[in-house]
Structure 1
């Protein structure tokens, strides 16, 4: 009976109304901005805070890369230019020139190139931004930093955190953590200190957030910081060379490209560094090897994994940029960025999330 009533209701609606009510919020932001011209009802619906909130919850797949070379403005490389885009990829709407530092579900974290090196969080689609207060701790010139934004069904306002791992001023080869909370509007330096690490020399400047934990590549291992527990751990990788960190099926993944073979591993035991060297306990669960010779071509000396997210791997192969879908096994050659622009790359989700 309920199904019959719903079917009758759908038959009585126009197709554009069905799409408006049931499909629009699954589309990336660029498509929605174009669809505002379809009719007055669509324009009104797309512009409401409730719709923006639903869209940020529904669209979570990666749709492009923000990339940048030193001293130059950022640029966006969309996976599908017809669906993903922003009005000003150079982020010229910000009050000063910036370096992109991190991204999370439609928001970008940027840092001013000069002066006080202020931090900004922005949505490049809406061109809305917030300038963050100056941290009490000295982060240095290029600290390792991660933006964490998880859209919540219950919170209309975008609440986010930033975790910065920086060189301790009191201890050599030690890392401290500074955390910004948008809810509190302030930074707080953690009392946690991780020894035997030096972010200024061995740590990747971009990290990954997965299941409540931030991970940074640190030398031949990984540095983890549990946000809720305020605890850090240095994870020694006894089982091979570290790969590029990413997220696959909601879990931390390491992607390593050797020649034309891609190896994917999921983190299964973050405490494996406490085991003996001959222990059978493993840090990584090998998910298999993928032969990409036909996709990458013959120049195997200049290939590397740039991004791993959802079911997508983005690889730099010489001067080419290639995306590979792990499910469909389909590859796509992306537009080639200018020389040097892959120095810093952050994945991007085209979202209407409101700041």
Structure 2
């Protein structure tokens, strides 16, 4: 692409009639959707990876405290991608570079594995067996066409582990239908809304991995930030929190420890306003995630219940109101999000969008 940079006649826009140039913004919007999708998938994998690391450290510390010399094997995140088209390939590169996922922990199932030679040379396993991939992976990204999805779901819906998470990029298939097709409840599907009148910052000729190292573009992908005109539904973010809770429940951790790890993970990066008064920072409480009635009956040693991630994104939960109204929590999440990509968030940003756009 760099070879063509200064050759006007080789640019995409060259052959477009003047009266049709008003549609060129769609090219930037398409690139923006791709960048946001890959950024949020990367953030999600970082969250799960970091939570598993925290659990492993706690387990190791616990064994040492009782004088045991047993070693706790690392439960490293395994990621599978179904679909090796443009999105699947871009996502694979971003996950390898920015999470980072080790190549041996990333598998791709596609009808044309021979077209992924570059990824195979990096050590990524590329083949065509959807059910086999699903039985191995902890997170499965669906990067296929809507017309292919029913057949794929029929192939894989008996192969899931209980804690496998399906992350769907198939925008045309809503969560309720996807839940029926998969017969599975651990599903995440980001939903994006495009807003008119925003400048195109997405640079359509740029690789996504490079774009996500640009502070302006990365901040535009932040939850609660409408820069670039593409807005993420905050119910997706809610699903990310509950997925992290399920990671702890899968390890049978007592709920007080789960909440401690959640606070250490999500609220570890403080805002400029915190100063030396970190005790005034928001804290995640049991009642933020379950009803008060359920919380009263939960004994100290019991783990949290297993949450249906599909229902979390479709209904109001105890955490919904807090995510939408607690500005200090929103600020901490934004700082945490940017920190996960190695960026310090700045306050030079557009104003927050309304609840109607986020929900």
> Which interval holds the TM-score relative to the shorter structure?
under 0.3
- Structure 2 length as normaliser, TM-score? 0.23
- Structure 1 length as normaliser, TM-score? 0.23
